[in-house]
Structure 1
Amino acid sequence: MTANKKKHKALKIARNIFLIFFAVCVAAAGAITLRGYYMYTSALEQLPVRRAAGEVRAKEGFTPLSELPDTYLDAVIAAEDHRFYEHGGVDYIAIGRAVYNDIRTMSFAEGGSTITQQLAKNLYFTQEKELTRKVAEVFMAWNLEHSFSKEEILELYVNSIYYGSGCYSIGDASRTYFHKEPSDMTDYECTMLAGVPNAPSVYDPSVNPDLASQRQRQVVGLMVKYAGLSQDKAELLTCGVN
């Protein structure tokens, strides 16, 4: 066999291997998407989104968005999902960045979930990082965006996310950590609580005050970057001055 024929045969084998690998990946992705869709529809049959929202609003200590400081809401969006008002439930830019970083580090360290996806997870699914559940979460996020306004989604989110120390709403967190209603929180307290849900067991102010303060400074930095907070105001906030 000549060198050219050997090269041609090797290229043909490589092409066939690639096509088989590609077909397997497509089939696997299709199967995961289908399982995720079934998980989504099953969850929706058991608890329609309007009823799920009603259960959150009926909780003792539910705090309407109108009673929350603007600083807190700006901090939450800057820290968790700065394109919240621009996407339709899924931030494809954030997902692309997360996939790249996860492949680079060979881990699931970065998720790219939006506030809407996190709300979907809080209302319906587990915290486990599993592909089928992530797909179901995406379908549910699209449903939530179709069913509610952005303000309603944000209101449901801050009243269902975990803040550590047994607190599952901003009202509970404010009363537990600061002994005051959410509407009375200072700017420093607002920025501190906005950072806790990222890792409640790590940033719980009553357990790890130093780490909570470190996270608060990160949130303030994100507000400078995404929410138009001035550097002078940021420096005061990181020192605990309103």
Structure 2
Amino acid sequence: MKKVLHPAATRGSANYGWLKANYSFSFANYFDPNRLQFGLLRVLNDDFVAPAMGFGQHPHKNMEIVTIPQTGALKHQDSMGNEGVIKAGDIQVMSAGSGVEHSEQNASTTEAVTLFQIWVFPETENVTPRYDQKRIAPLLTPNCFSAVVKPRSEAAGDDLWIHQQAYFNIGEFSEDTELTYTLHHKNHGAYIFVITGTVFVDNETLTDRDAFGVWETDTISLTIKENSRVLLIEVPMN
């Protein structure tokens, strides 16, 4: 087993006034050659956006983008004709593919919005851009990890999916839980990001916004304390 520990305090950060951001991996003006990505997971940004502010129309290409608001609501508009609001408790996926432009604005004039934006490299480039979103709660089983985004090849019905052999798992734990997560493929790794709470894994104690990457293993054993919320992203490592 190989591993990497990313304590919350070691993330990159930026404060633009209207935007306060924490970067798990090199992004914008933050560059660390040891933190370029985790396998094919390229970006995990933890953003705070002030009321009525946001990101104007800007382009993306050949990236799978997952947005998970934590508080507040984000107004989305894109060149595919999609327009709507993503609220806390929602998850949005967008395949930028051959090219798309979008804007993201705080939908409130009085309350901040906080969100995670996550980028994964696609397995196929220049696909037709696409967009989807869902409420998270109906996708979850209590006190275990539930896959809320899957590879296209494994999606059924109205599952959320992306163009990559990656799995986005969310766990909401109302009680102390011990579990083993089994990776889907031998060349995969898992990036465990504690949203809130406490997680014990491989003799490490993780708390709010700490992260732990694991690869070259088939399984991962975790002990998770009550009232914890955890994001586990499984990705190919090459």
TM-score by length of 2: 0.29
Which of the two has greater helix per residue? 1
Q: Greater Rg, structure 1 or structure 2? A: 1
Higher normalized strand content (fraction of residues): 2
Which has the higher relative contact order, 1 or 2, with Cα contacts under 8 A spaced 6 or more apart? 1
- TM-score of the aligned structures, taking structure 1 as reference length: 0.28
